[in-house]
Amino acid sequence: MRERDLQDKAALEAAVRQVADEYLADPNVTSIGVGYKVVDGEPTDELALQFTVRTKFAPQGLEAAPTRPIPAVITANGIRFTTDVVERRYTPHPIVVDAQPKADRKRRLDPIVPGVSIGNAAISAGTLGCLVREVATGETRLLSNWHVFQGLDGALGDRIVQPAAFDDNRVDQNVCGRLVRSHLGLAGDCAIASLEGRGAEETILELGVPVRRLGDPELGDRVVKSSRTTGVTYGVVTRLHTITKIAYGRDRLEQIGGFEIGPDEDRSAADGEISSGGDSGAAWLALDERGEPTDVMLGLHFAGEADGTAGEHALACYASSVFSKLEIAPLVADTVIVIRTSNVGYDEAFLPGQTIPVPLASKAVEADYAPLQRSDGVVRHATHFSLAMSASRRFCRWVAWNVDGNGLQQLSRSGIEFQRDPEYLAEHQVDDDLYANNRLDRGHIARRADLLWGTREEAQRANEESFLFTNIAPQLDDFNQSVKHGLWGELEDAIYEAVTVEDLRLSVVGGPVFKPDDHRYRGVLVPRSYWKVIGYVEAGTLHAKAYVLTQDDLENKLESLGLEPFNLYQVAISELAGMTELDYGPLTAADTMPASPDASGAGRARVVHGRSDIVV
C-alpha cells in the first residue's frame, strides 16, 4: 500500500469492507483498519492493513488454533496491502462500575453542557457529545451513541435523562429529552434526542469550544475529547477506515465503521486510560498546531479496549458519516437554542389559575396499584397523560390527561400498533392476546384526539403512546359500537361548543368502574361501566362535569343483568367518588351537577339522550 492510496477514501473504504466481509466472521478477529505497521511494540512508517485479534498465535500454533491464518499480503479492490496483526479487544463504553464521589459531569445540570453524563432512562451511563441541528426541522438535538440513547430494548420516543440512571436513579425528575433517531451499523453507533425542559450550552465542558465544523482524520492527527468518566484526554489517530466487530449483548454482533485512537505520549492521561466505561458518545476534536482544541469534530467515541488488553486504544465513528446518516449539521454561531417544555405526564397546573391533582385513592385501591418496573412509584407519565394501574384487574384505575384546544392537530393512526407498556411488568397489563377472535374491542381511556397537541414531535409521540395497553380497556363490541359510545367520544367537543372555556384548556380524568360481578370473558373481568370527569375554567371560575357510560340504571339505582343497552349519564362527582373509591379534590367542589333535592340521593344522575343534553 502506498501513501497516495490514502487520498482515495472511497476506494480504500471499499477495500476494507471487502476484507472485513471475509475475515470478521472469524471469532478471533476483532477489527480491520489501515494504520502503520507495528514492530516490537512500536509503530513504523510502513502503511499496512492492520488486523486486531483477541489472541495472537505464534506461527507454529496456528494449525491447532480455532482461527485462520492472515496472509502477509492481501489485495482488495485493486489495492495491495501488507498486513499486520495486533492483539487487541474492544468493548462499547456505556458500562459503569465505579462508585466515586460525584463530579459536575455526573450531576444534574441546567443548562446541560456536552461532556457530561447522559443516557436512556433504562441504560447505565454514557456521555453527551455535542449539540447539533436537525436539518429537516431546524431543532436543536443532543448527540450521543445508539447504545447510550437506545440500546437493545429501547425505542424511538424513549426518555433520555441527564444525568444517566447510574449516576442518579431519580429518572422521572431528570428527563431532558426523547430519542428522535438512531443508527447502528457501518455508518456508526449514533443517535440524537430532543432537548426538552432544560436549558443547554454548546461549549464542551473543559474544552472551551463548541462543534462548528466537521473533518476527516489523518494518521498521526492529535485529538482530544471531554467525557463523563475520564474527563479530558488526548490521543493520536493510529488507524483509519477501521471496521470493528462489537458485541452489544444477547448475541448481537455488529460491524461498526470508524477510526482508532491511541494515547498521546506527550499528553498522557493521569492513569494511562484515554477512555473508560461511561465515555461513549463523547466528541473527538482536532487540535491546532499549538495543541489547543479546535471546533472541528472528527469522531464520535463509541468503544475502547476491553479490560485485560495490553495497551490503550479507543474507537470513534467518523463524524462526517454520523452527521450524514442522522441528517444533522453543526450549530452555527449565535444559534438561539429553543428550550422545549418536556410535557411528560399530566400537568396539574394546566388550567389557568388552578391546581388539579391526580385522584387520591382509598387505602384499598392504593394497595392494589401496580408498581413501575423501571423507576420508583406507581404513577406512569407519558406525553400529555399519566395513569395508575390495578395489579389485580390488570387495567388502569385512572388516566389523567390535558387537552389544549388551541394546539390540537390531525395525525393519522395508520401503522401504529397497540403495544405493551415497558414501564410495567407483563403480569400487570393485558395485551393483544385478549382481543384476538372474540367480542372484545380495544377502547382508549384517554381519547387519542385529545392528546395530539404541542409541537409536531410531541403530538406524534402522544399519538403513539396513546396505543399503550395501559391506556386501553376491553369493551364488548355492543358497547364500542353503540350510539351512546359515540356520544361518549364527543363529551370534550360538546363542552368546547357550549361553554366559553378559558384558554381552550381541559383537564380530564377517566377510567373503568371495577365491580366483582363484572362480566368474565376468557378469564378477564370486563368492566361494564366507564367514567370521565372534565374540568375547565369559565370566567375565572373552575367548573367540572362527571359522566358515566354504563348498562346500570343510575337514575333508579338498579344494577344491570348484562343484557341492557348502554346509557350515558351525567352524575354528581361525589357520587362517582363512591363508585370508584377515588377523591377528585377541587373538582368535587366545582361540580356543575345540581344538588340532590332530598336525602335519598335521587336526582344525582341524569340521562344524556343526545349531544344537546351533554351540557345543560
- At which of 86, 110, 137 does a domain end? 86
Residue 213: domain span: 88-336
Q: Which tens digits make up the pLDDT trace of 200-241?
A: 999 999 999 999 999 999 999 999 999 999 999 999 999 999
Look at residue 343 in the predicted model and tell me its pLDDT. 58
271 and 378 both lie in a single domain: no
- Please check whether residue 344 lies inside any domain of the structure: no
pTM over 0.75: no
109 and 206 both lie in a single domain: yes
536 and 477 both lie in a single domain: yes
- Please check whether residue 150 lies inside any domain of the structure: yes
- CA-to-CA distance for 279 and 281, rounded, in angstroms? 6
433 and 288 both lie in a single domain: no
Residues sharing a CB contact under 8 Å with residue 451, sequence separation 6 or more, in sequence order: 383, 384, 385, 401, 403, 459, 462, 463, 465, 466
- Please check whether residue 233 lies inside any domain of the structure: yes
95 and 50 both lie in a single domain: no
Look at residue 513 in the predicted model and tell me its pLDDT. 94
- At which of 266, 301, 336 does a domain end? 336
Higher pLDDT, 207 or 100: 207
71 and 97 both lie in a single domain: no
Look at residue 171 in the predicted model and tell me its pLDDT. 86
Look at residue 565 in the predicted model and tell me its pLDDT. 63
- At which of 48, 63, 86 does a domain end? 86
Higher pLDDT, 554 or 417: 417
- Please check whether residue 469 lies inside any domain of the structure: yes
409 and 269 both lie in a single domain: no
Look at residue 64 in the predicted model and tell me its pLDDT. 45
List the CATH number of the domain containing 535.
Answer: 3.40.570.10
The model's confidence at residue 476, banded by pLDDT at 50, 70 and 90, is low
**Per-residue pLDDT averaged across 371-396, rounded?**
90
With beta carbons less than 8 A apart as the criterion, state whether 283 and 73 touch.
no
10 and 123 both lie in a single domain: no
Residues sharing a CB contact under 8 Å with residue 540, sequence separation 6 or more, in sequence order: 353, 502
Question: What's the one-letter identity of residue 28?
Answer: N
Q: Which tens digits make up the pLDDT trace of 534-592?
A: 999 999 999 999 999 886 755 455 444 444 567 888 999 999 999 999 999 999 999 99
81 and 95 both lie in a single domain: no
32-41, 172-181, 436-445: least confident range: 436-445
- Please check whether residue 352 lies inside any domain of the structure: no
Q: Which tens digits make up the pLDDT trace of 3-53?
A: 677 778 889 999 999 999 999 989 889 999 999 988 887 888 889 999 998
List the CATH number of the domain containing 303.
Answer: 2.40.10.10
Residues sharing a CB contact under 8 Å with residue 369, sequence separation 6 or more, in sequence order: 361, 378, 388, 389, 390, 391, 397
Q: Which of 240, 222, 220 is nearest to 35 (CA)?
A: 240
Q: Which tens digits make up the pLDDT trace of 74-90?
A: 999 989 999 999 888 77
The model's confidence at residue 322, banded by pLDDT at 50, 70 and 90, is very high
The model's confidence at residue 61, banded by pLDDT at 50, 70 and 90, is very low
63 and 112 both lie in a single domain: no
Number of domains in the chain: 3
Catalytic residues: 444
- Please check whether residue 491 lies inside any domain of the structure: yes
- Please check whether residue 341 lies inside any domain of the structure: no
Across all residues in the chain, what is the average pLDDT?
Answer: 86
- Please check whether residue 437 lies inside any domain of the structure: yes
* 406 labelled ligand-binding: no
Q: Which tens digits make up the pLDDT trace of 446-456?
A: 999 999 998 77
435 and 298 both lie in a single domain: no
277 and 321 both lie in a single domain: yes
